[in-house]
């Protein structure tokens, strides 16, 4: 039977209200009584029941983070940033694995609301997510990150996906590659669409046309499967850009299996800049997102709209290219076998 505010009041010879004031640092308490109450709190080892106070204040000090899969290094980095920032602002953080399941997302959202969670960060939104749009309309405090929903009037923190993809494209072009391909994530993910657009545009600007392949998922296996298809093509692309690091690692595995040297026969560029990219063999050239910073920013936006009623804001961070060992100069014969431009164009 834990002790309550009432026990403290009686023991200290004051009323409930006074104890409550001390707890909430109200300025209207005489210094002497404040000290007496605090001493009593210490002595009794009183711990306020935050549930009860939440019932009054409508604030639980809890945020939630929805991710597709916490064991994906990108999202566990995100989780780190979110949890860290949340903790510094006095919030705890509920983490939910939603997968790609829209209904699961809705179910979680509903439960979290009923449990009084103060706000939700979505890293799971589909391109045209109805739920997110609706929550935005109702003014429920949410923040989008990593995956945008263009139609929603809510907070969001993103990277400049087109720019990042263009960095990758230009990098490969500068290395002399002419037969370029990209493996994208499923179309429901807005940022992957953007990366595709950015890549295509940059490649076309060089007078070439990239081969575009859409993976059936976002993990290593999906990258592996997509690249098997791609590597069987003749002529085979010499430079492949992947919408994330996991896909790129799948390509590395397929390449190794096919006896292709990376970067000798094939250059591979990823996107995200996860630890996995550094550990991969060879270490991945990748477009680095400031992942932890994105997590922190997401919390900041959310807490801001929570505490100050700030209206929805949009933060776009800039990615950068990190050169690994998975990309290198196009081999001499690669371009020689074919005309210089419009390699894949009819």
- Minimum gap (Å) between residue 253 Cβ and a second copy: 9
Query: For residues 66 and 104, what is the distance between their CA atoms, to the nearest angstrom?
Result: 10
Strands 285-288 and 155-159: unpaired
What is the CB neighbour count within 10 angstroms for residue 256?
A: 12
Residue 176 or 290 having the CB closest to a second copy = 290
Specify the residue for token string 């006074």. 18
Identify whether the C-beta of residue 142 lies closer than 8 Å to the C-beta of residue 121.
yes
User: Between 226 and 265, how does the x/- string for binding to a second copy read (CB under 8 A)?
Assistant: -----------------------x----------------
Q: Which two tokens stand for residue 204?
A: 């076309």
The option from DNA, a second copy, none interacting with 214 (CB < 5 to 8 A, set by class) reads none
The option from DNA, a second copy, none interacting with 16 (CB < 5 to 8 A, set by class) reads DNA
The option from a second copy, DNA, none interacting with 56 (CB < 5 to 8 A, set by class) reads DNA
190 binds DNA (CB under 7 A): no
What is the CB neighbour count within 10 angstroms for residue 236?
A: 17
311 binds DNA (CB under 7 A): no
Query: For residues 197 and 192, what is the distance between their CA atoms, to the nearest angstrom?
Result: 9
Q: Which two tokens stand for residue 149?
A: 């929903």
The option from DNA, a second copy, none interacting with 80 (CB < 5 to 8 A, set by class) reads a second copy
Helix (H, G, I), strand (E, B) or coil at 219: coil
Q: Find the part of the chain contacting a second copy (CB under 8 A) among 15-23, 74-82, 141-149, 335-343.
A: 74-82
> What residues numbered 2-61 form the site for DNA, per CB under 7 A?
2, 4-6, 13-18, 20-21, 23-24, 27-30, 32-34, 48-49, 52-53, 55-57
């Amino acid at each position: 039977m834990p002790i309550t505010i009432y026990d403290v009041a009686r023991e200290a010879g004051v009323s409930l209200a006074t104890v409550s004031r001390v707890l909430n640092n109200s300025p209207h308490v005489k210094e002497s009584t404040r000290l007496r109450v605090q001493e009593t709190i210490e002595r009794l080892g009183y711990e306020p029941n935050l549930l009860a106070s939440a019932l009054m204040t409508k604030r639980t000090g809890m945020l939630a983070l929805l991710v597709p899969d916490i064991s994906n290094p990108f999202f566990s980095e995100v989780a780190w940033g979110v949890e860290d920032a949340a903790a510094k602002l006095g919030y705890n953080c509920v983490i939910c694995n939603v997968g790609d399941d829209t209904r699961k997302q809705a179910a979680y959202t509903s439960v979290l609301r009923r449990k009084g969670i103060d706000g939700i960060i979505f890293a799971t939104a589909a391109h045209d997510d109805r739920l997110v749009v609706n929550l935005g309309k109702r003014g429920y405090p949410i923040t989008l990150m990593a995956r945008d929903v263009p139609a929603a009037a809510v907070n969001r923190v993103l990277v400049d996906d087109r720019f990042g993809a263009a960095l990758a494209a230009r990098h490969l072009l500068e290395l002399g590659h002419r037969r370029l391909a990209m493996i994208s994530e499923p179309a429901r993910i807005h940022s992957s669409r953007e990366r595709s657009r950015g890549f295509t545009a940059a490649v076309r600007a060089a007078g070439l046309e990239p081969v575009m392949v859409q993976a059936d998922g976002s993990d290593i296996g999906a990258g592996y499967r997509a690249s098997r298809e791609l590597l069987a093509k003749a002529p085979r692309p010499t430079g492949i850009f992947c919408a994330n690091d996991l896909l790129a690692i799948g390509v590395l595995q397929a390449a190794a299996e096919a006896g292709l040297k990376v970067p000798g026969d094939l250059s591979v560029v990823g996107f995200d800049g996860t630890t996995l990219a550094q550990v991969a063999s060879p270490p991945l050239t990748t477009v680095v997102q400031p992942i932890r910073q994105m997590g922190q920013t997401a919390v900041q936006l959310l807490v801001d709209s929570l505490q100050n009623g700030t209206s929805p804001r949009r933060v776009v961070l800039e990615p950068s290219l990190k050169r690994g060992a998975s990309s290198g100069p196009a081999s001499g014969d690669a371009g020689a076998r074919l005309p210089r431009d419009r390699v894949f164009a009819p």
